[in-house]
A and B are shown apart, each in its own frame.
Chain A
């Protein structure tokens, strides 16, 4: 069953796009910024995990440490770079995140060189055989991790005081400050959390594409497309859109001769243009109105 196989493969890559897209949505909800450096920060964390593995740390522990270290990295980024321009027009903020992207790309290449490196898989080898098609344990693991992540984020935002406070800051920073919330600390927490989610995405994708300073560029593009298609406001919509993109591009790559493996990315791009034309707020987004 080639089709089923392709759908499952698509869901797996979609889950990786969804993880990075969730990091983007987290930041956008907290600060209204699209952080183009998100993927590059994830690459840095993934390299840290790789360095730990080289030093003899078990892979899972190394990834856990790298994800934990991503939190202060993201928080410092917010504190010392983003906060200085947060109130500027979006153009300035975008330029700053792009500058960070290039800077971090350079730093990663400087420390670890641009040679590609293998990254250990976090899941045992082998596959489950269901209805005549093989599902690798890695695919199951990646989708499982995404499911746990979505539930954990939902519980965090809707079941804890911290999540409530973060939502309040995202909705109205001034009122939150007046009611005694530490807005700055909460913003740093949001960026740290997003960096951790991004680091997770990096460690999930690295075994599939090999480690290299540019490895997240393409994933970032897919995740941004998922964010546009799903709606910048809607985490669930983004996850659904990412899964859809993964499946559709895999099927198109397999069954439409001209597209093949190399031009797969054209499919989500066309999908995004269609969504922007007919439903510019995204499939699950809501229309915003502007006050003069």
Chain B
């Protein structure tokens, strides 16, 4: 292959990527104008849970520290946003509250929980949803107790002429793009390499000068912050928050969605969000409404992914994309 054809192939690839990005942006811009409000809110939920799973990916996928209580941070963010909105704060201030509160709690939890390697974080974080649910019920003058709290931080400005579900979709999608961009930069740089080394071998990481404990805490705090932003997006989409959304099974399902979508992959986080939101939809579409069906499908999917396609759905997509692009079958690095 001579230099010229190599350059041309690169140019074609870049152009293909740019075209794909453009198509994606146009589709995202057009969908809410034509879809039903229900579809819009489902798609906003996909973006919401994609951001939550992205946060989980930072600490669990990249740094290899299993967090089993991610729903607690999502819930903290959602409650912070809802309470701030109910107190009359503007949307940006509510978003700030939804970032700061989970990050601070994440720091307070992560400092002791990450002291011991191995399973300690998993065990501590598993307890978070279990304590968060009764705590949310108890603080009823703030959280509305078991009945929950209604709040809507977003109001479509009159000049846009958009319905509230359309405006919410645009704001939530923009937030999601921002968080994905942030996560991409975090994981591609120095921090991402250090976290991967911590996952593969902590002792080696320490011996080459990576501050293992500090970076693990940092990854956990980032995950909590992403969870908090997802919580804000959740309140924007649903307009409501109740203790049920903090449930332990929500946290376990988020972890499973992350693995099914694909660990350590941005696309995988998006696919994970889609898996989380659409699996119950698909189940009710095909008439599988009996109790337990969704959990059976969820558990079976993650076992299948671990046994058959360890990189999750995103690795399959990646392999097909590489195949189309180069004509060569490759495995994900």
Q: List the interface of chain A (C-beta within 8 A of B).
A: 34, 36, 81, 84-85, 89-92, 94-96, 98-111, 113-114, 213-214, 217-218, 220-221, 224-225, 227-228, 232, 260, 262-263, 265-266, 269, 272-274, 276-277, 280-281, 290, 292
Contact = CB atoms under 8 A, between A and B. Distances in A.
Nearest to A220: B126
**Most chain A Cβ neighbours within 10 Å, of B111, B119, B249, B293:** B119
A227 B66 CA distance: 17
A242 B124 CA distance: 16
B303 interface: yes
A66 B112 CA distance: 40
A110 B293 contact: yes
Given A109-B295, A110-B291, A276 B306 contact: no
Interface in B270-291: 290-291
Contact of A81 (B207, B252, B295, B303): B303
B119 A90 contact: yes
B248 interface: yes
A113 B123 contact: no
A135 B264 CA distance: 54
B258 to A, nearest CB: 9
Interface in B290-321: 290-300, 302-303, 306-307, 310
Contacts of B259: 95
B116 A103 contact: no
30 contacts: A36-B126, A81-B303, A95-B255, A95-B302, A96-B306, A98-B68, A98-B302, A100-B299, A101-B252, A102-B252, A103-B295, A105-B295, A105-B299, A106-B297, A106-B299, A110-B292, A110-B296, A113-B291, A213-B292, A218-B130, A260-B138, A262-B134, A262-B138, A269-B127, A272-B123, A273-B112, A276-B124, A277-B115, A280-B115, A292-B204
B256 A95 contact: yes
Given A99-B300, A265-B127, 19 more contacts: A36-B122, A90-B119, A91-B199, A98-B255, A98-B256, A99-B299, A106-B294, A107-B296, A111-B292, A214-B249, A217-B248, A218-B130, A228-B120, A228-B123, A265-B130, A276-B120, A281-B116, A290-B202, A290-B203
Contact of A99 (B127, B138, B302): B302
**Most chain A Cβ neighbours within 10 Å, of B123, B135, B256, B310:** B123
